[in-house]
Amino acid sequence: MRIGTDATYAPFEFVSERTGLPAGYDIDLMDSICAHLGVKAEYIVSPFDGIIAGLTTDKYDCIISAMTITPDRAEKVLFSRPYYAAGQSIAVREDNDEIKSLADLNGRKVGVQMGTTGMRFAESLGGVEVFPYDHIGAAFIDLQNGRVDAVINDRPVTQIAIKERGGIKIVGDVLSDERYGIAVRKSDSLLVEQVDIILTELEEAGYFESLQVKWF
């Protein structure tokens, strides 16, 4: 099975320095799903901004890439049942005491990853200058260097960035309630049904908890 993923979003998907191959929470999960299906997983790294287009033009058979299930995306693809709960958060430099909540972003420069729900959320705010990046790591680098004032991004990924990079903190409340799903083409309803059955079996067997411990 050919699987599209944007391997720049640790801990869900990233390129391992040791192996040079995709690794992470999503990769482990998809490896397990493929094992249950009796197929080999072949990962195709694709920028997130065009990843759905890659699926609809048959570059791969499904997507696992920390992708939030949204109504507009569901018009183009079929989603599995949710496998992870996430939400957007605001990150600022550790020494920033001026930005404490969403209201404080007015007039600020905010970094986001292109094509994400974080970008859409930031664009919906009035008075915010949005700076889109190809991958979220670049946004965090510019945050640390003072080129942007804040980053809006999925909370669990931001938490890992804080742990690995330092000098960053989360402020304010979780901004949204989001669920990740695996995407397939609209014509592949049988595949998504099989994936849903496997996801339920894995959850009941405690596999999601083991992934949480391993990657967080």
Identify whether residues 8 and 78 lie together within a single domain. yes
Identify whether residues 80 and 95 lie together within a single domain. no
* pTM confidence score: 0.90
Q: What's the domain count of the chain? A: 2
pLDDT at 94: 96
What's the CA gap between 40 and 14, in Å, rounded? 19
Identify whether residues 195 and 146 lie together within a single domain. no
CATH code of the domain containing 16: 3.40.190.10
Identify whether residues 79 and 101 lie together within a single domain. no
Buried b (16+ CB within 10 A) or exposed e, 180-195: bbbbbbeebeebbebb
pLDDT at 126: 87
8 Å CB contact between 180 and 155: no
8 Å CB contact between 39 and 168: no
**pLDDT tens string for the chain (216 positions)?**
999 999 999 999 999 999 999 999 999 999 999 999 999 999 999 999 999 999 999 999 999 999 999 999 999 999 999 999 999 999 999 999 999 999 999 999 999 999 999 999 999 998 999 999 999 999 999 999 999 999 999 999 999 999 999 999 999 999 999 999 999 999 999 999 999 999 999 999 999 999 999 999
Identify whether residues 136 and 163 lie together within a single domain. yes
pLDDT at 213: 96
Identify whether residues 157 and 200 lie together within a single domain. no
Identify whether residues 163 and 92 lie together within a single domain. yes
Domain that holds residue 34: 2-84+179-215
Assigned token pair, 18: 């040791």
Identify whether residues 148 and 202 lie together within a single domain. no
Question: What torsion, rounded to 10 degrees, do the Cα atoms 94, 65, 181, 74 define?
Answer: 110
What is the bridge-based pairing of β-strands 109-113 and 129-133?
A: parallel
Identify whether residues 71 and 93 lie together within a single domain. no
What is the bridge-based pairing of β-strands 13-15 and 183-185?
A: unpaired
